[in-house]
Structure 1
Amino acid sequence: MGKKKKTDESSSSSHVTSSHPSTSTDDFSVHFVKAEEEDVITTQIRDKTASLKSNATHFSAASAAKGGMLCCRSLFSRRRVLHSRTVRVGYGPVGHDANVTFSPNTVCNQKYNIFSFVPIVLFQQFKFFLNLYFLLMACSQFIPAIQIGAPITYWGPLGFVLTITLIREAFDDFVRYLRDRDLNSEKYEKLTRDGTRVEIRSADIEVGDVIIMHKDRRVPADVVLLRTTDKSGACFIRTDQLDGETDWKLRIPVPYTQHLPNEADIMELNCEVYAEKPQKDIHAFVGTLKISVDDTVQDGSLNVENVLWANTVVASGTAIGIVVYTGRETRSVMNTTLPESKVGLLDLEVNNLTKLLFCFVLVLSSVMVVMKGLDNLWYRYLMRFILLFSYIIPISLRVNLDMAKLFYSWQIGRDKHIPETVIRSSTIPEELGRISFLLSDKTGTLTKNEMHFKKIHLGTVAFSSDAFEEVGQHVKSAYAGRLAKHSFSIKLQNAVEAIALCHNVTPIFENGETSYQAASPDEVALVKWTETVGVRLANRDLHEMSLSVQLPNGQTLQKQFKILHVFPFTSETKRMGIIVKDETTDEMTLLMKGADTVMSGMVQYNDWLDEECSNMAREGLRTLVVARKPLSQQEFDAFDRAYHAAKMSISDRSQNMANVVNRLLERDLQLLCLTGVEDRLQDQVTTSLELLRNAGIKIWMLTGDKLETAICIAKSSGLFSRSDNIHVFGNVHNRTDAHNELNNLRRKTDVALVMPGSALNVCLQYYEAEVAELVCACTAVVCCRCSPEQKAQIVQLLRKYRAPLRVAAIGDGGNDVSMIQAAHAGIGIDANEGKQASLAADFSITQFSHVCRLLLVHGRFCYKRSCALSQFVMHRGLIISTMQAIFSCVFYFASVSLYQGVLMVAYSTCYTMLPVFSLVVDRDVTATNALTYPELYKELGKGRSLSYKTFCIWVLISLYQGAVIMYGALLVFDADFIHVVSISFSALIVTELIMVAMTVHTWHWAMLLAQALSLGLYMISLILFDQYFDRQFVLSWVFVSKTTAITAVSCLPLYIVKALRRKFSPPSYAKVN
């Protein structure tokens, strides 16, 4: 076997660079060795595994929670050391692994259990300073010396906030529990040792079980595929819940077990499966399989193409597999991480203002103590005054904002103008209203990712879409066999046949219709084009591919090809290849296609490839270079031996395989053609980009495409305007080059920049701050040949050097996830390329044009409403604290509460909460005007709606109104102090309602209802709460007249000032309306 390396000696597992299948029988090449040699090697591996197990360590509850399977019963468990395992069919783990307790296959996404729920939720709440502050204030009421009024005054608001939080968390966790219970209770079939089927719950599945998974059923654990009932001898799976990709993946069963007469024969085999230690990489798996037959051992390698990951779905046939990983050791769970919680800029600003209010409480309390006179008990009075003025810090602000965010999310989700929009992060909707930079992917974001074959170039002649009929005639004549070997038609035939064979497309026949499954829409577009010119992909399975060729006389020629090896496309290699054998001529050929940057170094010398690639790119076409290489039997045998040896290696398997392919095959290829595929722009992209640009948002396009294609799309989409002076950043190899190019850019103004990813790397290495300064000054930016890591790096650059400006990122593919997660607001497009970006994003939309309404309408409304809500909640606390301060000053700085018990609790809940919260349905402009006048959006980025200036204005308003109400009540009352309470508190409530009404821009029925309910509830309280109000007095005209007069003085001047301002210096939104 030659397996001298031990799996666990490598620091990291080898990576198979694609999830697409190799359809060669050689994937499980059979070699016969002596059983004694195999046992020696197996013992070495197990000994190594045992030594690793002895180094087990414990872990804390916090580290146990990582990975998404946060189950509270894990809080006191030990960390499981991940290691490889060997399992025998019908017997489970063997050798040292037989004594290992593997992870149970239970799904547990709950955050809490019945015992930990309350402690953990309370801990999460009181780790915030303000909540802890109010807890201390409430607890202080148990100390008689500093007790002020009834304890409910302080415990009431705190209890309300905590109750809302506990109910929300309990509901969310209960939903998670129900979902977990459903998954754990799913029924599957398990093969027993005697070959019979028994039913088993998903939670009861263990490592080594042989389970049966039917079509459209979830795979409950990571399994090695042993057998499938699909006619093709393979198994298709859907992986959209794992990696977000919507295309079906082909998985290959072990050939030996697949060819057994029936499934019961599997359990009679002496078969052992070795699997590497669990890891996160879903595109890699290293394993071996050993089948002992008499005195010989059939040994083969296993890779990712032989494995079904948990939480994928069987898309075809019935699959039978042996479980190798369960529970927390499955790939899906190991890749489930708790997403980083994003905090919006508005939340940070509100937090800073709250800190100012806390300082104000300390200063005011200290002043009151000094004015009262310092004595031995000064600290007691300081605490009492802090308690009295604690309402300055709004405890309900956080709850109000959280509830408002949930309402915004609901409102966005039901907007019929942007259907199927999903809010995945309800904590940052206000961020949408302050975006300064929008970083966008190209393919599938600005374009539709719907590919159409447009052009083929053979070096001497090119054919566009209007000449494809001529291509078909040439191809049909060539297949008729009456042409010279080196004629042009033969060359065109070779090119078309190569395109028809070199791919990973599989035709699917259902209900009399044919559809194509492939890794990318480019592949499907190429195969569909060959069908239009007379060469149709008729069938494909693991080992063979057949083409149906139309001949000039109308007859059909069937060509059969045996698939010997497939080298799948990856983003790293940027190419794919296949070795096929023509069963008619027995000729073996290597066919390859890929990006010009990698293929140009593999093909024979030519003088046209680079030029034509640039020409097609300028037309906005995606190019692929197609080449071939005939292989003799000797060449193929030499490669096959070396490739098999590389596949049998345990460590660095994928790198060894790639090295063999590069060394023995990827040399001196015959260039066949250059193809051009068009990716059409999405609907309304041009108008959307213009709208966003007018809104003051700078738009950058980050793409992996070549420079010419990127420029072409930037022009056609309107990202670059006609008046823009386009500056293409030159080649940069060192610090001097970077310095010179940046100086060239500095001397230009109003330019649109095009920058290759290679140049960006060098510039960021030496001149990070300068790059941020110069690039941000450009009208538009395009970064081409950009890797996923570079996309995220650009986002971080803007966040670092352009704070506090907000950065949004939008994309549709897995290569955009890092960029989306790094941005302040990540927007994913749920489109053809898959759901990975959509699932990772904060906001998910279906097309790029929806981003305009998402930002300009909903972003504006969310930000403006939350600002108004925050200001009123703070105003509500400031005004009553001002009245308390004046009351204490008048009565010789007495630390006595002005309002007692229920009044203080009801003030911020029953009497004023609904009117203030109703501001979340207010809007200063209509949605139509917000889109018609995108310039209105520019003002939001300045943060003027909630700034230190507006905060100071509201503080002054609170001081004025509090002083008027308190002094007015003291001036007009007769003799009974209860009249002061009645007049001042009534004027306070009415003032709050009037201030809300004065702030409203557009009345909504919910606002009117909130005002009526609050006022009605207070009027009922005046009559019922006779311990606080004199019922006879409050029903008199004297009370009404005095309250009305005080309220008028507190509100009328503000109304006059506001009216004059709207008349002589109206805000922008007022001009529009």
Structure 2
Amino acid sequence: MGKKKKNDDGCSSSSSQKQSVNQSTSTSKDDYSVSFVKSEEDDVATTIKDKTASLKSNATHFSAASAAKGGMLCCRSLFSRRRILHSRTVRVGYGPVGHDANVTFSPNTVCNQKYNIFSFVPIVLFQQFKFFLNLYFLLMACSQFIPAIQIGAPITYWGPLGFVLTITLIREAFDDFVRYLRDRDLNSEKYEKLTRDGTRVEIRSADIEVGDVIIMHKDRRVPADVVLLRTTDKSGACFIRTDQLDGETDWKLRIPIPYTQHLPNEADIMELNCEVYAEKPQKDIHAFVGTMKITVDDSVQDGSLNVENVLWANTVVASGTAVGIVVYTGRETRSVMNTTLPESKVGLLDLEVNNLTKLLFIFVLMLSTVMVIMKGLDNLWYRYLMRFILLFSYIIPISLRVNLDMAKLFYSWQIGRDKHIPETVIRSSTIPEELGRISFLLSDKTGTLTKNEMHFKKIHLGTVAFSSDAFEEVGQHVKSAYAGRLAKHSFSAKLQNAVEAIALCHNVTPIFENGETSYQAASPDEVALVKWTETVGVRLANRDLHAMSLSVQLPNGQTLMKQFQILHVFPFTSETKRMGIIVKDETTDEVTLLMKGADTVMSGMVQYNDWLDEECSNMAREGLRTLVVARKPLSTAELEAFDRAYHAAKMSISDRSQNMANVVNRMLERDLQLLCLTGVEDRLQDQVTTSLELLRNAGIKIWMLTGDKLETAICIAKSSGLFSRSDNIHVFGNVHNRTDAHNELNNLRRKTDVALVMPGSALNVCLQYYEAEVAELVCACTAVVCCRCSPEQKAQIVQLLRKYRAPLRVAAIGDGGNDVSMIQAAHAGIGIDANEGKQASLAADFSITQFSHVCRLLLVHGRFCYKRSCALSQFVMHRGLIISTMQAIFSCVFYFASVSLYQGVLMVAYSTCYTMLPVFSLVVDRDVTATNALTYPELYKELGKGRSLSYKTFCIWVLISLYQGAVIMYGALLVFDADFIHVVSISFSALIVTELIMVAMTVHTWHWAMLLAQALSLGLYMISLILFDQYFDRQFVLSWVFISKTTAITAVSCLPLYIVKALRRKFSPPSYAKVN
């Protein structure tokens, strides 16, 4: 069942639970008998004052769906005018009326494309050249059209740049074409529309307009935001699936307008004089303010509309056939307005590579300046400076960005097909290397460390408690009480009242399909409670909008059916932390308010007792999620007074939800009779304990952030192994002011080997006054648990670590809607694809199916991604440095001439055809096996220091490049005879072979792709030696002289490095070598 936000005490649900039978029973046909005297103009004027309307909703709303999926504005709306969002009044069969008849509403077309045929090339080029390096190479290439500073053929510079741009253009074109096909399919979907004469006509989704009455069949996508007028279910229940809107997989209940639902057939709708008013478009999918006015025989009937009466676009009809009137289309639908541009995350490796590239650019300027000074500062010094900058531009690797992007895509593909972590999805392919450098892992509890599979474990009635081994006794008491054998105030009768309250106070709906019964609810806690009552003899037999029936097993084996009328439902929200229902027993006509919720809110509503707080703490220590259940009988006068006040609050347009909540609180939530306390167990996920141990040994500090109470959080931390036996657990006391915070932080500072437990209230106070100190002390703890933590606080903790512990990387993992802000704030967000909801999974950078998979994701794939990208980056930079070193020596030898050593095709093919494949093949290399990476998690700890790519390793590779470049160039100059073309042949051949040998020396585990890359590159170069007569002397390159000289130079450039590496591996082996 969908889990938007988890209750601190186990009653998990979401504000979207307004889809339940909330107020449905009190919104009957009689609601429309109220006289409607205000004019349409008064209606609009009143609504303009609606406080719920967001000021931002008046801003321009371009194609948000395009922005989210494409990263920029849709081509169709690139030059569109500012659109002011309007409320609207539509008449059934006629469309917008009054002043709205002249308003042009958004077309119902889906446009997720980033480009059109005219904007494609300009926009892609702009996106590429906004990066400094690409712009730098563009300027270098363009400079080749200036004769005074031209260096060889223009293809020397345009070739690599063109290769990079071609790859980008092909990728963008393919992605946009896929988006176009998807958009075309959605826009072409066929729906049925009711005409004024009541007949059905077929219409495309893209042609649907505001005011159309459309028919949506089961399992079909809702094409626009519609007010529900009618369903095929006699009870008026219409279930929808909202997983594509809010990520929740539970079915939501929607209620049609009672008046139109009771019409004999759908064609009668078109004969009504019916007007629907809808507020201006906004983002909130859990709220809607509207009214409906029906004129019948000169009398006006009106009623309020809320979110329960609306089907949002991109939801799916899950039961029956729905008929609705369209109120919002296209960019004004809730679906599109909530699709925003996600923050683009940049990995630490990319930042480090960018800094090294800046150093290379400075090196180019310095080297060029030195060359000009050595040549002599004459009147044309600036021309020579430009020429030298062009000659040494290969130091800056233009292909580095493309190589890294292609490597990231390969990593994502490789992770996705790992059979050991099935169904893993990479949603952000730009930061896989971040997984290899995680220092902090912030985890949710419910559904992440635990399974979110609830099992009823305990019920406490104040004087006695029953655990799972005594539930049979509970069933006997309940059956006896229903059989009428015991006194009304006996213990069995009290137990009966408690069980009946649990069986009635919920939003569970039984679904009967294929002879089997399943339960639909917004919380697995509620399903667990209902299933438990069934085991003790009280089964939820049926439920619709207006009634509920219980099937009770009697001691004689017979079944008693009890019927209850549902008068009101007050759904659970994360703000109220409780839910309630008013039911009427049709046998006795007794009206009762039933409520359940967190002890923190219910303790102030129930009558005085001396056991609730203590037993709540006891159950929490057992790791159980607690709920307090209470009741309150209502007299006829009390019910009538409440109905009047509640109806008046429902009819208000401004602050409707708050007004309704105030009425409930003022008139009902006082002096409730405490019935029982329930305890539900959420079991740990498989292999959680071993996974946490592995991660801790890998040097990752694990924090648990939960909304549960302190005792429950500590119990789970101990049972999961988050707290070790040697840890000194320090629990923050009550912190209300700055002095309290100062004292608690000082107490923490004096302790060592501390596992910290901090309530959310204490965290708020401490961060307000001592933010930096909190970061310092908390990060020194071995483990941290934050309880009673709100979603905003979870994100705040992530930001705290990012601010005070940079450049350490923070990962966050969760499974619910209340984890989304934390996941999005982290450097690497990991979502668990839970059965109850997909919000966290969809918002995360990486999606897995269970917590234990995070070990392989980090310790294996994260490590491999980081190590491989480091090696790839250094080789790409080495490739440019070595050839630039040779160019510098060549210029020095020939009197600082600004003449290119290699011309045309050789320069283009050097970084593409001859060396690209071997260098890129390093992405399949691995220094240890996956098994060893998991067996020795200490290998992961070394990566946090960033030693695989640092200024130290950069300097080492610069020295290697200088040495090899000098050996190859001087060696070629020393051994050539008379023809300069022989210098080119020998030096370039030695350069290519040296690159291939260096790649081979770096490889730890040979893969068939590596061998193929080496063979293809070497074969292609040997063919080039024969074909390119203008660069190579064919007779010379086929002689033993050429082969011997090239071999000798290559040996001198590579052999010393090989010897050094072998000695280092023998006397000071790296950790991975020791493991192997």
Question: Structure 1 residues 760 and 934, CA, compared in 2 at 3 Å: closer, same or farther?
Answer: same
Once the two structures are TM-superposed, the CA of residue 70 in structure 1 deviates from its matched residue by: 3.8
Instruction: Encode CA deviations 1:182-230: one digit per residue, 9 max, x unaligned.
Output: 0000000000000000000000000000000000000000000000002
Paired residue for 1:993? 996
Matched-pair identity in %: 97
Once the two structures are TM-superposed, the CA of residue 1007 in structure 1 deviates from its matched residue by: 0.3
Contact 1:13/1:652, CA 8 A, preserved across alignment: no
Contact 1:8/1:277, CA 8 A, preserved across alignment: no
Paired residue for 2:368? 365
Question: How many angstroms apart in 1 are the aligned matches of 2:65 and 2:599?
Answer: 48
Contact 1:310/1:331, CA 8 A, preserved across alignment: yes
Range that drifts further, 143-152 or 17-26: 17-26
Paired residue for 2:290? 287
Once the two structures are TM-superposed, the CA of residue 481 in structure 1 deviates from its matched residue by: 1.2
Question: Structure 1 residues 204 and 144, CA, compared in 2 at 3 Å: closer, same or farther?
Answer: same
Instruction: Encode CA deviations 1:581-615: one digit per residue, 9 max, x unaligned.
Output: 11111111000000000000100000000000000
Once the two structures are TM-superposed, the CA of residue 995 in structure 1 deviates from its matched residue by: 0.2
Question: How many angstroms apart in 2 are the aligned matches of 1:54 and 1:171?
Answer: 34
Once the two structures are TM-superposed, the CA of residue 536 in structure 1 deviates from its matched residue by: 0.4
Once the two structures are TM-superposed, the CA of residue 309 in structure 1 deviates from its matched residue by: 0.4
SS in 2 for 1:54: helix
SS in 2 for 1:815: helix
Once the two structures are TM-superposed, the CA of residue 22 in structure 1 deviates from its matched residue by: 4.0
Question: Structure 1 residues 39 and 83, CA, compared in 2 at 3 Å: closer, same or farther?
Answer: closer
Once the two structures are TM-superposed, the CA of residue 751 in structure 1 deviates from its matched residue by: 0.6
Contact 1:808/1:827, CA 8 A, preserved across alignment: yes
Once the two structures are TM-superposed, the CA of residue 52 in structure 1 deviates from its matched residue by: 12
Instruction: Encode CA deviations 1:796-817: one digit per residue, 9 max, x unaligned.
Output: 0000000000000000001000
Question: Structure 1 residues 752 and 127, CA, compared in 2 at 3 Å: closer, same or farther?
Answer: same
Question: Structure 1 residues 7 and 980, CA, compared in 2 at 3 Å: closer, same or farther?
Answer: closer
Question: Structure 1 residues 58 and 398, CA, compared in 2 at 3 Å: closer, same or farther?
Answer: closer
Question: How many angstroms apart in 2 are the aligned matches of 1:861 and 1:830?
Answer: 24
Contact 1:24/1:542, CA 8 A, preserved across alignment: no
Instruction: Encode CA deviations 1:341-368: one digit per residue, 9 max, x unaligned.
Output: 1000000000000000000000000000
Contact 1:628/1:669, CA 8 A, preserved across alignment: yes
Contact 1:106/1:203, CA 8 A, preserved across alignment: yes
Instruction: Encode CA deviations 1:498-555: one digit per residue, 9 max, x unaligned.
Output: 0000000000001111000000100000000000000000000000000011111111
Question: Structure 1 residues 843 and 28, CA, compared in 2 at 3 Å: closer, same or farther?
Answer: farther
Question: How many angstroms apart in 1 are the aligned matches of 2:3 and 2:471?
Answer: 53
Contact 1:195/1:265, CA 8 A, preserved across alignment: yes
Paired residue for 1:1044? 1047
Question: Structure 1 residues 62 and 3, CA, compared in 2 at 3 Å: closer, same or farther?
Answer: closer
SS in 1 for 2:533: helix
Question: How many angstroms apart in 2 are the aligned matches of 1:46 and 1:697?
Answer: 52
SS in 1 for 2:304: strand
Instruction: Encode CA deviations 1:736-758: one digit per residue, 9 max, x unaligned.
Output: 11000000000001110000000
Contact 1:476/1:550, CA 8 A, preserved across alignment: yes
Instruction: Encode CA deviations 1:801-857: one digit per residue, 9 max, x unaligned.
Output: 000000000000010000000000000000123001000000000000000000000
SS in 1 for 2:246: coil
Question: How many angstroms apart in 2 are the aligned matches of 1:14 and 1:1072?
Answer: 52
Once the two structures are TM-superposed, the CA of residue 232 in structure 1 deviates from its matched residue by: 3.2
Contact 2:885/2:965, CA 8 A, preserved across alignment: yes
Paired residue for 1:17? 19
Contact 2:140/2:157, CA 8 A, preserved across alignment: yes
Instruction: Encode CA deviations 1:39-71: one digit per residue, 9 max, x unaligned.
Output: 89889x799999999999899999999998942
Question: How many angstroms apart in 1 are the aligned matches of 2:798 and 2:835?
Answer: 25
Range that drifts further, 481-490 or 104-113: 481-490
Question: How many angstroms apart in 2 are the aligned matches of 1:7 and 1:653?
Answer: 24
Paired residue for 1:31? 35
Question: How many angstroms apart in 2 are the aligned matches of 1:937 and 1:47?
Answer: 55
Question: Structure 1 residues 409 and 696, CA, compared in 2 at 3 Å: closer, same or farther?
Answer: same
SS in 1 for 2:564: strand
Runs of 4+ in 1 over 3 A off after TM superposition: 1-43, 45-70
Question: How many angstroms apart in 1 are the aligned matches of 2:41 and 2:331?
Answer: 34
Question: Structure 1 residues 21 and 114, CA, compared in 2 at 3 Å: closer, same or farther?
Answer: farther
Question: Structure 1 residues 399 and 41, CA, compared in 2 at 3 Å: closer, same or farther?
Answer: closer
Contact 2:13/2:523, CA 8 A, preserved across alignment: no
Question: How many angstroms apart in 1 are the aligned matches of 2:70 and 2:297?
Answer: 44
Question: How many angstroms apart in 1 are the aligned matches of 2:832 and 2:43?
Answer: 53
Contact 1:21/1:251, CA 8 A, preserved across alignment: no
Question: Structure 1 residues 350 and 230, CA, compared in 2 at 3 Å: closer, same or farther?
Answer: same
Contact 2:7/2:707, CA 8 A, preserved across alignment: no
Question: Structure 1 residues 329 and 674, CA, compared in 2 at 3 Å: closer, same or farther?
Answer: same
Paired residue for 2:393? 390
Contact 1:6/1:48, CA 8 A, preserved across alignment: no
Question: How many angstroms apart in 2 are the aligned matches of 1:619 and 1:974?
Answer: 88
SS in 1 for 2:209: coil
TM-score w.r.t. length of structure 1? 0.96
Once the two structures are TM-superposed, the CA of residue 774 in structure 1 deviates from its matched residue by: 0.3
Question: Structure 1 residues 1046 and 42, CA, compared in 2 at 3 Å: closer, same or farther?
Answer: closer
TM-score w.r.t. length of structure 2? 0.96
Question: Structure 1 residues 248 and 63, CA, compared in 2 at 3 Å: closer, same or farther?
Answer: closer
Once the two structures are TM-superposed, the CA of residue 1057 in structure 1 deviates from its matched residue by: 0.1
Question: Structure 1 residues 218 and 789, CA, compared in 2 at 3 Å: closer, same or farther?
Answer: same
Question: Structure 1 residues 684 and 53, CA, compared in 2 at 3 Å: closer, same or farther?
Answer: closer
Question: Structure 1 residues 3 and 664, CA, compared in 2 at 3 Å: closer, same or farther?
Answer: farther
1:204 aligns with 2:198: no
Question: Structure 1 residues 28 and 858, CA, compared in 2 at 3 Å: closer, same or farther?
Answer: farther
Q: For 1:742-891, what aligned pairs fall within 5 Å after superposition?
A: 742-891=745-894
Contact 2:426/2:847, CA 8 A, preserved across alignment: yes
Once the two structures are TM-superposed, the CA of residue 231 in structure 1 deviates from its matched residue by: 4.0
Contact 2:2/2:249, CA 8 A, preserved across alignment: no
Contact 2:63/2:331, CA 8 A, preserved across alignment: no
Once the two structures are TM-superposed, the CA of residue 651 in structure 1 deviates from its matched residue by: 1.0
Once the two structures are TM-superposed, the CA of residue 30 in structure 1 deviates from its matched residue by: 5.1
SS in 2 for 1:563: strand
Contact 1:811/1:820, CA 8 A, preserved across alignment: yes
Once the two structures are TM-superposed, the CA of residue 79 in structure 1 deviates from its matched residue by: 1.8
Contact 1:728/1:754, CA 8 A, preserved across alignment: yes
Aligned-pair Cα RMSD in Å: 4.2
Contact 2:3/2:817, CA 8 A, preserved across alignment: no
Once the two structures are TM-superposed, the CA of residue 297 in structure 1 deviates from its matched residue by: 1.2
Contact 2:66/2:112, CA 8 A, preserved across alignment: no
Count of aligned pairs between the two proteins: 1072
Question: How many angstroms apart in 1 are the aligned matches of 2:586 and 2:168?
Answer: 70
Contact 1:827/1:843, CA 8 A, preserved across alignment: yes
Structure 2 counterpart of 1:146, from 145, 149, 155 = 149
Once the two structures are TM-superposed, the CA of residue 694 in structure 1 deviates from its matched residue by: 0.4
Question: Structure 1 residues 575 and 171, CA, compared in 2 at 3 Å: closer, same or farther?
Answer: same
Question: Structure 1 residues 200 and 60, CA, compared in 2 at 3 Å: closer, same or farther?
Answer: closer
Paired residue for 2:164? 161
Q: For 1:500-899, what aligned pairs fall within 5 Å after superposition?
A: 500-899=503-902
Question: Structure 1 residues 157 and 727, CA, compared in 2 at 3 Å: closer, same or farther?
Answer: same
Question: How many angstroms apart in 2 are the aligned matches of 1:540 and 1:115?
Answer: 57
Once the two structures are TM-superposed, the CA of residue 4 in structure 1 deviates from its matched residue by: 35
Instruction: Encode CA deviations 1:264-290: one digit per residue, 9 max, x unaligned.
Output: 000000101111111111100011111
Question: Structure 1 residues 595 and 50, CA, compared in 2 at 3 Å: closer, same or farther?
Answer: closer
SS in 2 for 1:279: coil
Contact 2:144/2:154, CA 8 A, preserved across alignment: yes
Contact 1:271/1:291, CA 8 A, preserved across alignment: yes
Question: How many angstroms apart in 1 are the aligned matches of 2:912 and 2:33?
Answer: 74
Question: Structure 1 residues 1047 and 548, CA, compared in 2 at 3 Å: closer, same or farther?
Answer: same
Q: For 1:178-257, what aligned pairs fall within 5 Å after superposition?
A: 178-257=181-260
SS in 2 for 1:194: coil
Question: Structure 1 residues 858 and 15, CA, compared in 2 at 3 Å: closer, same or farther?
Answer: closer
The structure showing larger relative contact order (alpha-carbon pairs under 8 Å, at least 6 residues apart) is 2
SS in 2 for 1:103: coil
Question: Structure 1 residues 237 and 64, CA, compared in 2 at 3 Å: closer, same or farther?
Answer: closer
Contact 1:569/1:576, CA 8 A, preserved across alignment: yes
Question: Structure 1 residues 159 and 67, CA, compared in 2 at 3 Å: closer, same or farther?
Answer: closer
Q: Gaps (5+ residues) in structure 1?
A: none
Once the two structures are TM-superposed, the CA of residue 482 in structure 1 deviates from its matched residue by: 2.2
